[in-house]
Amino acid sequence: MATGKVRYWAAAKEAAGVAEESFEAVTLGELMTKITQNRAELARVVSRSSFLVDGSPVGRRPHDEVILGDGATVEVLPPFAGG
């Protein structure tokens, strides 16, 4: 099981109530399940968000196939307005 930190940006930060928190998870899918448990608003935002793992975009890869390494940083990027 990897440990690391998840960083929330914009609406995700507001929904989570924190800018950053530590995690224990093997895959991005497992992490998303853990962080959204009992957090309906965060679950709503996460469902529309993009993710970076150690600075690399996850893209359309299935979250259960994205393996998290020990010390990983996962960033939750909700859709941004403007340009």
Domain residue limits, the chain: 2-77
For the chain, 83 residues long, the average pLDDT of each consecutive 10-residue run is 96 97 98 97 96 97 97 94 49
* Paired tokens of 34: 């853990």
At the topology level, CATH places domain 2-77 in Ubiquitin-like (UB roll) (3.10.20)
Reported as a single tens digit per residue, the pLDDT across 43-55 is 999 999 999 999 9
